A and B are shown apart, each in its own frame.
Chain A
Amino acid sequence: MMMRIRLLLSLCVLLLANVHAQAQFYYFGQNKVQYTTFEWHVLKTEHFDVYYYPEMKDLAEQGAYFAEESYRLLEGKFNHTVREKIPLIFYSTHLHFQQTNTSPGFIPEGVGGFFEFMKGRVVIPADGSLGRFRHVIRHELVHVFMTSKVARVLADHRVTSDRMPPLWFTEGLAEYWSTVPDDQAEMVMRDAVLNNYIVPLTDMEQIYGTFVMYKEGQNVLGFIADRYGEDKILLMMENVWRSTSFSDVMKFAVGKSYKEIDEEWIYTLKKKYYPLLSTSDFAGQTSTVILKNGFNTKPFYFRRNGKGEIYFIGNYMGYTSVYRVDAPTNGESPNDLEPHVVVEGERSNEFEAFHLFQSRLSINRNGILAFVTKSGENDVIHLFDVNSESRVRTLQFDSLIVMASPSWSPDGTKLVFSSISKSGRMDLYQVDDDGDNLKRLTDDVYDDRDPVWSPDGSSIIFSSDRNELGLEQTYDLYRYDCAQGTVSAITSGKYNFYSPSFSPDGKFITFTSNLDGAQNIWAVRTAEIGASSMLPAIRKVTRFSNAVFDPCWSDSNTIIFAGFENYSFRLQMIDSAVQRIDSSDVVYRFTPPSVAGAFIPHTVDGDTSVVSLPYRGEYSLDIAQSEVSTDPVFGTAGGAVVAVSDLLGNDQYYFLVYNNAEVSSEFLESFNIAVSRISLGSRTNYATGIFHFSGRRYDLMDPDEYYYERSFGGYLALSYPISRFNRIDGSISMSNSDKEVYVFLKPRKAVIGSLSMSYVHDNSLWGPTGPLDGSRFLATAAYTKDVENGNVNYYTLIGDYRHYFRLGLRTALATRIELMMNEGAEARRFILGGSWDLRGYPRWSLRGKRLWLSSLELRFPFVDQLGIRFPFGGIGLGSFRGALFVDAGNTWDNEYKETLGSVGAGLRWNLGGVFVLRYDVGKRIVNNFSRFDPGLFYQFFFGWDF
């Protein structure tokens, strides 16, 4: 019990304490920057409160319609209703979504939305596609319904609420009931089956939380629905109370256990996909593999100094960057090719994030590479000279949030690109290379992507969902006539056509399509486009069994592309491109040849039952916890902590009250009260608070010092993020402190004022147990003074630098140097020792007003996957990592005595991504680092690597 309240109090101290304590805990971390000020409104429909900002009102009204449409569908599928209104928080772009405070962590690029069950919020960004917007809304609402339904079933049976279905089921169902199996699902399942990495339900914990798990879950539920009826899925949810084993639940509902379903399902998959190899091949078998490892996407060919080069966006070590590799020539072994980093991404503000699978590259005749990164608030287009390897210019437009796939005009003076404005619409834009004359080419609700300029400059070909089936995420190719400003279709029907690319002579356009199954490369003769009222015939160029992406032409009759094979994106190439097109025996003619009109999205606009109101802040409870504790030294205390925050997570309030009076006369003065507000809604985050603390304390920094202290005051803390990687922190506090040390019965009165400033840099890239790449730096200066009596008067200086040298994909050498100093009257002491800093020494055993510490640590993978199989199922224990380390340092007050150190090895075990267990074995080094202590030390603790 004591431990719990101490923990609770320490949390409050972290939040509320004044600066001279705060400086001890103030540390690293990257910043979620609130670049944009949103003026939130609420659209109230029958079942939803839709939160949006005025610039995206049309999109919000369309989203509200999709939500109500999905609600009606899911009400029937789940045989259930969700009684409370569901908060839907919409963002018009992913970059705005990444600023949300509804989730405390960073939102990765691949997250399309989430359901947060504490407040029941659904948070969804648009990405320009109304079809995907509808899909994600429905996906998240499946989670809402399932959570509510299963909770209801368990409550009805009065069964504990820990029997939620497994993640493969919840995510698989969210996909299965929100969309038809799409290109991605087909691509992943086909690849997994043909490359033998399909994971059965019995071993699903091995791929817990991965994209493969989502798609396998979707597929196996589709299989169960097809073979046994979709009702069985509902029956599983309604019988989740029967067992803690979901396999048993499945056995009851479907009549088959995991093992039995696995046998049927995997056999069916094999029967479906194995025959493909008789008529098609993996690209890796019949084409030249340029780069096999890592993620290699969006290739673009350029001839420089007489030599062919391929520029592409790749990710090998966790950071996405622009790479270059020499184009293979005849006789050259592709195995010799090594990619060269052209633009190192995701370590600085200017190249903060590449959109790995979303934006293509383009290089004009002068060697100016155009590419997109996130930089600050919005995306920007960088113009980069590949000859001098220097940035020429950056194009940024306040009105355009997300940008993608810039393509040079033939004369190299203009760019066409797709972009999402604050309204959430994805349209095509044209701009001069100096950033002037921005012109919007399309202006509608359709998702226009992958534009490419024709070699004669007369037209722009692009992919768009402006068709009858656009809401089903069907994409066709279109031609924009630059002179007339008109758009006409090149393809039609229920298949997808992406990534157009012209041959150097302009006679052909190649693109990808799933027209006959796997996404292959197809081509159309440009002469046939618009030659008659008929749509042009298209010819199949490749016969791959796996999916390929982003074909681009070289100047030597080859096509370079990215291929998804064996769960990696490879850079590959085929030769004799023109001959392949001319000799293709698979020619597809569109029937009917006419083009159906584009879909018209529904909206709740005009629905009189729907009202829109400004958002006023809707607060609800986050935490309410009460505690009563008793301890022979600290006596009895009781109290509670309450935290509330608003629906958007921008404002958080924390209230702490507890009392530790021992006699009734002390009751009033023994109240410990703290009120704090943390505001995250604007770029400068701040926290303010007032507090009154009193009671007996044990000072961690000064051993054996027990004292009574009564203090009250207030504080203000500010944090200004310069970028994701750098910030300035500052705080000021004032408190009245009456302190009495028990042993010496020494009273001390003080009115303490504190001022602190810090600069923090962090661009580290983390592995499973700690940073593996990048660097972290902290510099803090603080001053604390008793403004009334002068009893307390000291300054603080802290410097901490850590650098991580990447030695391999999962291996790194980590270094650290820390210097800390408190100087003056009643200066606090720093603590050292233990698994987090100076290993081999008891935790916090070294104390002093000055501290230095240096560490060197080799981090490497030890065991990749440890699993235990029981007769009733398996448990995945995840991976273990290893470490070899050397530490040196010490603390002192006035006289430095000796340098202490240690050397050893350790194991790290990440538990569920939130907790790391650490075990170290080593030898202490003492006597100014000159002698090993006898024997070994063994330390077991928790915490991330430094």
Chain B
Amino acid sequence: MRIRIRHIANFFAAAVVCAIVQGCAGFHVNGPLVHDAGDWPMAGKTPSGTYADQSQHITLPLELKWDYDLSAGAGQNACIIVDNVLMCGTLKGEFFAIDAANGKGIGTKKISQPISGSPTVLGSELYLCAEAGKETIFDYNLSAGEFVWKKNIGGISASPIIARISKETADANSGISASSGGGVPRLFVGTLDGAFYALRPSDGETLWKAKCAAPILGAACADDSLVFCADIKGTVYAFTAASGRLCWKRLLGGAVYAGVSTHAGTVYAGSRDHLLYALDARTGEIRWKYDTGERIMAAASVSDSLVIVPSLNGIVSALDPRDGQMLWTFTARGAVNTPCTLVQGIVFVASLDTYIYALSSANGSVLWKHSIDARIKTAPVIWNGSLLIIGDDKTLYSFGKR
């Protein structure tokens, strides 16, 4: 009898140790990650933060392929996908690696502080940020399954982005190349202390740091030479990507809680004063602004012919990027507080009314919709013909063709 009890005790002790080890140990993916143009490696897909991928073709209607229990809520941008590996952080401070094709878990890692922005990936390095804690930005090598570096630059709610500066301009501190092909990568992120950082991805060294007037909650964006961010006092900043020199700043009529996006020489910022501002990327002058009628909590999605901005009254407005004229609107049954996603001919809209909508980009008509029976407050991600969303039932859903 004693022996049996001892065996049982040993079993439970081993189980506890395994659970602890499982929680603390790293995980790794096989081989280096191979990036593809169809990947979604950061919030907004590209450094310009446009949430658009015109190369993607989606065939409607979609069906639920798989779902995955994250066990905690997620921020506005939560998941990215590179080389078939989906990575996602949660507000409980865990990040997950999942096989995007079948929804099988690859591994989990805890940092024990809320991750409210999406991670970003460069090669096999995963960069993620925490809202609080002793360390707030981390570099995790997915191949080795261990942290390369981590440091504290203040709490971070925003999603970090990676943009590449050409070697020459980096050396000359004068420019940046947004193309993903080459150049020197830089990691840009704003903090809750109101500081904006450019870090060297390889070792986390601070290359430059700029002080903003208030906390930065949304993701930055970058064009070919400048990097843009906005704070919750409503100021949009443009810094040279290489040196952090302030080129201009523009105070808007209300706080900016969402990220900013840029396309074709224009920076877009949605504000709590209900207006979407289109600013000249070189000067910060207001080109046009559009009143959505309610607070804007999501970054605009931008393509050559469309600017899509949602607001908390559930109205999604499609605007002409040239002059901000409204082309069409769509009204969801609930607030929309996440960026929309643009692919070929389709605008995906996620709403707190539990529906994911697929709208015609031509006229806003509903092509398909589906309720997941939970509020959706995380931006839709399109990858390889699949749609990925996270509900506030703490579940990650993948839709596509079976």
Contact = CB atoms under 8 A, between A and B. Distances in A.
Contacts of B354: 83
B186 interface: no
Nearest to B373: A83
A894 B333 CA distance: 77
A156 B72 contact: yes
B375 A81 contact: yes
Contacts of A83: 354, 374-375
Given A72-B313, A152-B392, A231-B272, A79 B297 contact: yes
A229 B392 contact: no
Contacts of A81: 334-335, 352-353, 375
Contacts of A111: none
Contacts of A241: 91, 114
B71 interface: yes
A158 B335 contact: no
Contacts of A242: 132
Contacts of A152: 73, 375, 392
Given A79-B297, A81-B353, A231-B255, A158 B72 contact: yes
A45 to B, nearest CB: 13
Interface string A176-214: 000000000000000000000000000000000000000
Contact of B73 (A76, A79, A80, A155): A155
Interface string B364-388: 0000000000110000000000000
B255 A156 contact: no
A72 B331 CA distance: 12
Contact of A158 (B92, B312, B352): B92
Contacts of B114: 157, 241
Contacts of A231: 232, 255, 257, 272
Q: What is the interface residue range for chain A against chain B? A: 10 to 19
A38 B71 CA distance: 46
Contacts of B120: none
Given A152-B392, A157-B92, A158-B92, A76 B335 contact: yes
Nearest to A242: B132
Size bin of chain B's contact surface: 20 to 34
Contacts of A235: 232
Contacts of B335: 75-76, 79-81
B240 interface: no
Interface in B97-153: 114, 132
A46 B375 contact: no
A241 B257 CA distance: 19
B312 A79 contact: yes
Interface in A128-153: 152
Identify whether the interface residues of B are mostly helix, strand, loop, or mixed. loop
A75 B297 CA distance: 12
Nearest to B334: A81
Contacts of B272: 229, 231
A231 B257 CA distance: 9
Contacts of B392: 152, 156
A229 B374 CA distance: 30
Given A81-B375, A158-B92, A231-B257, A76 B313 contact: yes
B337 interface: yes
A231 B217 CA distance: 13
Contacts of B91: 156-158, 241
B295 interface: yes
Contacts of B192: 252
Interface in A50-80: 72, 75-76, 79-80
B67 interface: no
Contacts of A252: 192
A237 to B, nearest CB: 14
A695 B294 CA distance: 66
A76 B255 contact: no
A81 B352 CA distance: 6
A81 to B, nearest CB: 4
Contacts of B353: 81
B211 to A, nearest CB: 15
A11 to B, nearest CB: 35
Contacts of B71: 158
Interface string B65-92: 0000001111000000000000000011
A83 to B, nearest CB: 7
Interface string A207-233: 000000000000000000000010100
Question: Among A46, A76, A155, A252, which residue has the most Cβ atoms of chain B within 10 A?
Answer: A76
Contacts of A79: 295, 297, 312, 335, 337
Contacts of B374: 83
A255 to B, nearest CB: 9
Contacts of A155: 73, 394
Contacts of B312: 75-76, 79
Nearest to B75: A156
B334 A76 contact: no
Given A229-B255, A242-B132, A156 B73 contact: yes
A76 B333 contact: no
A42 to B, nearest CB: 21
Contacts of B394: 155-156
B334 A75 contact: yes
B200 to A, nearest CB: 29
B294 A76 contact: yes
A46 B333 contact: yes
B333 to A, nearest CB: 7
Interface string B306-342: 0000011110000000000000000001110100000
Contacts of B295: 76, 79
B335 to A, nearest CB: 5
Contact of B72 (A72, A75, A76, A157): A157
Nearest to B312: A76
Nearest to A156: B73
B92 A80 contact: no
Interface in B44-79: 71-74
Contacts of B313: 72, 75-76
Contacts of B74: 156
Interface string A114-128: 000000000000000
Contacts of A75: 312-314, 334-335, 352
Nearest to B94: A158
Interface in A70-122: 72, 75-76, 79-81, 83
A675 B83 CA distance: 61
Interface string B209-233: 0000000000000000000000010
B193 to A, nearest CB: 10
A81 B332 CA distance: 12
A408 B220 CA distance: 73
Interface in B241-264: 255, 257
A76 B297 CA distance: 10
Interface of A: 46, 72, 75-76, 79-81, 83, 152, 155-158, 229, 231, 235, 241-242, 252
22 contacts: A72-B313, A75-B313, A75-B334, A76-B294, A79-B295, A79-B297, A81-B334, A81-B352, A81-B353, A81-B375, A152-B392, A156-B72, A156-B73, A156-B74, A156-B392, A156-B394, A158-B71, A158-B72, A229-B255, A229-B272, A231-B257, A235-B232
Given A72-B313, A157-B72, 15 more contacts: A46-B333, A75-B334, A76-B312, A76-B335, A79-B335, A80-B335, A81-B352, A81-B353, A81-B375, A83-B354, A157-B73, A157-B114, A158-B71, A235-B232, A241-B114
Q: For the complex of A and B, list the 10 residue pairs with the smallest distance between their C-beta atoms, beginning with the closest.
A: A156-B73, A76-B312, A81-B352, A158-B92, A81-B334, A156-B91, A157-B91, A76-B294, A158-B72, A231-B255
